[in-house]
Each structure stands twice: as C-alpha cells, then as structure tokens.
A and B are shown apart, each in its own frame.
Chain A
Amino acid sequence: MSVTVDYNRVTERITEKFGTKVHSPEQPYGMLTIRTDRDSIIPLLQFLRDDDEMQFIFLTDICAVHFPDRAEKFEVVYHIHSFIHNLRVRLKVSLSGEPKIPTAVSVFKSANWMERETYDFYGVIFEGHPNLKRILNVDEMTIFPMRKEYPLEDNTRTDKDDKMFGRINVNREN
C-alpha cells in the first residue's frame, strides 16, 4: 500500500469509478461529504466497503433530513468509517418526489435497524428492506414525527397552559 489514503485519494478513487454520478465533494467541519443519486448509492457503498485500498467496512449511521421548502424534500445521509485509515466519509442522497431509496442491508447488515429508525421518524421507504416497520415509536403512531409539519408537542393533554409550557401552534392540524 504505497499510496497514502486520505480524502483526496478517496475522492479520486470514487470519481474514477463513478464519474458524473457523484458530485460536489466538500469538507464541512473537516469531513469529506460526497453527493450521489438513489441509483448509485448502493454500488457506491459496496465499492467503498470492498475496495482493498480504502476498506470503509463500518457503517456508522444512516439518517435523514427534511427540507420542506426545497424541491427535493428529503435527504438521506450515510456515514461510513474506514478503521484502517481512521477516515470517515459522509454520503448524501437528495430525494425528489416520493421519499424512496434502495435498502443498504445487502451491503451492511447493520443498516437494518438504522433504516427502520429513519423510516420511523421520516417515513423514508427503503425498498427491499426485510422488515420495514417502526422501531422506536409506538406501533399505533400515525405520523412521522421528525417531519417539520408535525408539532413537537403531544396534544393529548388539554390542561397544559400555553403560558407555562410555551406551546405554539397547538391547534395546528396534524
């Protein structure tokens, strides 16, 4: 292993393999972030994991972000870690239309629960997931609570005074 693997090398390797399917590499807060699309994310994860030089063998986290004002309302974020080089990379996929994305369970077994959590809170559908149901919230919940249109507060308690609890938009339709 003669070449030092750093963020420049990782960007170079990915671009060499995926070309225009990956774009806008940047390093906010010193961490490499690369954007891709929903068709390339699984091959990209597979490539980063199996590549002998980089070995991003650990999936740290999968989560989502809701941007209600953008055309692409949802963004799914993957964090992967290469132990051998002590490098972390963030992969982002913006989703337009239906929030659907292929599951990463085929690449990382640990993606199972992370994707269930992301589904639970944001309603992102991971296509091909073996057991896509709620994991943290109660099964009876009808909303995806981290989406911005839902209020933080629980409105089942009617005797909580707005003056004391600072509730706003309590009567907003769910």
Chain B
Amino acid sequence: METQTAQPKIVPAPPGVEGPGYFATSFDKAIGNAKQYSIWPLPFATSCCGIEFMATMASNYDLARFGAERLSFSPRQADLLMVMGTIAKKMGPVLKQVYEQMAEPRWVIAVGACACSGGIFDTYSVLQGIDQIIPVDVYVPGCPPRPEQIIDGFMRIQDLVHNEPMRRRNSPEYKALLESYGIK
C-alpha cells in the first residue's frame, strides 16, 4: 500500500486544451496565474496600519504564503503599492512620485480608514483619501484593519492580477484614468 505523505498544494492550471504531450491555453491566463503568486509589494506605511502590516508580514499571518514575501523597497521593482496610514497633504506629492516611479503593470491598495478617506482626520492638513491623487484598486476599511482584512484585501488584488487582460494598460480607458490624475 502506498504511504500517504503531505503533498504541497499546487496552483491549479488555468482552463485549456490538454492532450498527450501538450497543453494549450491563452497567454493572459497562464501569465496571470504566475503573476498573482509573485507580487512584490512596496509598503508605504506612515502610521498604525503599518504596524498591522508588520504583523501581516510576520510568521503568524505570513504574507509569504501568498507569494509576496519579497517586499520591494524600491518602487521601480514593485508591483503593488500598499498605502497604510494617514497621508498628510504635504506627503501627497511624495506618494504620487513613488507611484509614478513604479513600472506598469502596477496596483494600489489603500489600507485603513485614513488612506481610504482621511478617516478621523477630517482636517485641513490631511489628504481626504489617497484616491484624490492616485488611482486605487482595493480599499481595506478598518481603523486599523486586522491582518486578516489586509490579507483579504491582498487576495482581492491577486484576483485582479489574475484576471486582468494583458492589454488593459494600453486601453484608452486606462490612459484616460491616468490622465484624470495628471499622471503620464
């Protein structure tokens, strides 16, 4: 009798045509499948949500399980900008510059009430949500959100990365979106 050993879970293959010695699928699906498990996040942590992110990265919650153990501290190699914390108006141009330095395709996740909407800081010095200066893909609510919520938000990003057509970034809609933020 064969002994039962724990097999590592392998990502299922995308739908396609399979036969002896070949497997055919579209580039979009194969590459999307690979990309979603190799996202390099850039943490932009300015306050308490950043502390929750540290817990998310550490061994208990372990974002590495999602293929994101390699944090990129240079925006030029990052795929995902994770904005965690209050962004003061004076920090706004800095955040925008970091976003502009990222190469396409790039995604943005706004973690916590402050990054989403300014949160409790309903005041003249605080940016009322980072979507006023850069486009945001996923919003994670909470003040601060628990690591589970951040992971859930990250998985929504994985869905986007997985399903996004490779030509989306060249589409006129996408260009118009960036245009509306004044980003080249």
Q: Does A127 contact B (CB under 8 A)?
A: no
Main secondary structure of the interface of B (DSSP, over half): loop
| B129 surroundings in chain A (CB, below 8 A) | 157
Q: Does B26 contact A (CB under 8 A)?
A: no
Which of chain B's residues 98-124 have a Cβ closer than 8 Å to chain A? 117-118, 122-124
Complex contact A154–B123 (CB within 8 A) = yes
The residue on A at minimum CB distance from B89 is A138
**A: number of interface residues (CB 8 Å):** 17
State the CA gap A100–B41 with chains docked (Å). Answer: 50
Which of chain A's residues 113-158 have a Cβ closer than 8 Å to chain B? 136-138, 141, 143, 145, 150-154, 156-157
| A160 surroundings in chain B (CB, below 8 A) | 117-118, 122, 128
State the CA gap A138–B117 with chains docked (Å). Answer: 19
Main secondary structure of the interface of A (DSSP, over half): loop
| A145 surroundings in chain B (CB, below 8 A) | 124-125
- B123–chain A nearest beta-carbon distance, Å: 6
Output the residue of A137, A154, A156 with the most chain B CB within 10 A. A154
| A150 surroundings in chain B (CB, below 8 A) | 124
A contacts, CB < 8 Å to B:
136-138, 141, 143, 145, 150-154, 156-157, 159-160, 165, 167
User: Which 8 interchain pairs have the tightest Cβ spacing?
Assistant: A157-B128, A145-B124, A138-B89, A153-B122, A154-B124, A138-B90, A154-B128, A165-B122
6 residue pairs from A and B, CB less than 8 Å apart = A136-B125, A137-B124, A143-B124, A150-B124, A157-B122, A167-B122
B contacts, CB < 8 Å to A:
89-90, 92, 117-118, 122-126, 128-129, 132
